[in-house]
Amino acid sequence: MPFDPTREIVDPHHHFFTGAPVHAWLASLGAPEYAPESYAEALGSLPVRHTVHVEALPDDPLAEARQVDAWASAGRRGADKVAAIVAACDLAAADAEAQLDALCSIARVRGIRYIVDWDGPFGEDNATHVACSRHGLDYLRDSAVAARFERGFALLASRRLSFDLQCCPAQLAAAAALFARHPGVPVALCHLGKPRHLAADGGARDEAKLAEWRAGMAALAALPHVFVKLSMLGYAVPGWCNDAAKEAFLKALVLEVIALFGARRCMFSSNYHVSAAGSDSDGASEHGLEPPALFERFAGWVGALPADEQARLFSGTAAEFYRIGA
């Protein structure tokens, strides 16, 4: 069934890739350029009113934010709906304050993301993100860097900036402890908290992974200023798009998170084009599920929820979190 055209969507997580010079490192990994027009075409007839552009591992975070802001201001197709920008900034850097002040000069910048997934040296056997192989540090649990990161994190509150957290499940408890000390910084947990490569077979391996993930998610849910993006689901359960049993398993996880945090603190997002480009940055395929089909699945999963909760999941939560006006 096509997505209801009368239902509004605010897509709180998507990316543009421009290649060199802004995304030279990403391009070196083989990432193709992804223009705003391609995003517009992918959305098709979905009733998307506003979107949030999230940093895409730029070599120059300020240049990326300025570029996206300029495209949005010029009404470039595909960027014309960008109402908020989540920019990159290494909060542990010595010049983090100066970087943040420069980013705040761009009106659409609402928050910061710095990918911190670290669970040991990058490889296929752990949840460390390829981006973290560049610095080789655990910003949440390594005492050598965590204090510096927290000093930078504390700067966000006075600048009315939120933080997008992308980490692995083993780091969730440490993240919760950090956020508890800074209730003035709203946090959006990316990608369902990133449970990794679940087989959906009821086995001991899945149960161990889920136990760690659930403990971390419960700690975060106890903090009212922490929200969750329901996205990048092919990382959690590879192959779910084409397997009814895996989809049912994944749907149950999504509904579990919604019940834990409440619809007021959850938001569906496309994560385009990463989640539909064949594989995400860690190699888990979503089999090219385009946004219209993805949002149709989302709508089917939450169809039994009250209408006001569905509205929060598809638009209301994202608009509130990123301070997007009517």
Q: Show pLDDT as tens, one digit a residue, over the chain (326 residues).
A: 688 999 999 999 999 999 889 999 999 988 889 999 999 999 999 999 999 999 999 999 999 999 999 999 999 999 999 999 999 999 999 999 999 999 999 999 999 999 999 998 887 678 889 889 888 899 999 998 999 999 999 999 999 999 999 999 999 999 999 999 999 999 999 999 999 999 999 999 999 999 999 999 999 999 999 999 999 999 999 999 999 999 999 999 999 999 999 999 999 999 998 765 543 444 333 445 899 999 999 999 999 999 999 999 999 999 999 999 85
Q: Does the pTM of the predicted model rise above 0.85?
A: yes
Asked, for residue 3, whether it belongs to a domain, the answer is no
Q: How many structural domains does the chain have?
A: 1
Q: How far is it, in rounded angstroms, from Cα 326 to Cα 324? A: 7
Asked, for residue 4, whether it belongs to a domain, the answer is no
Domain that holds residue 238: 9-321
- Spell out the residues 6+ positions from residue 132 whose beta carbon is closer than 8 angstroms to its own: 115, 116, 117, 118, 122
**Site of tokens 């927290």:** 150
Asked, for residue 180, whether it belongs to a domain, the answer is yes
Sheet with 266-268, side-by-side order of all strands: 9-14, 48-54, 82-88, 109-113, 162-165, 187-189, 226-230, 266-268
Asked, for residue 326, whether it belongs to a domain, the answer is no
CA 103 to each of CA 72, 106, 131, 213: distance values in angstroms, whole numbers, following the listed order: 16, 6, 21, 33
Asked, for residue 74, whether it belongs to a domain, the answer is yes
CATH of residue 42's domain is 3.20.20.140
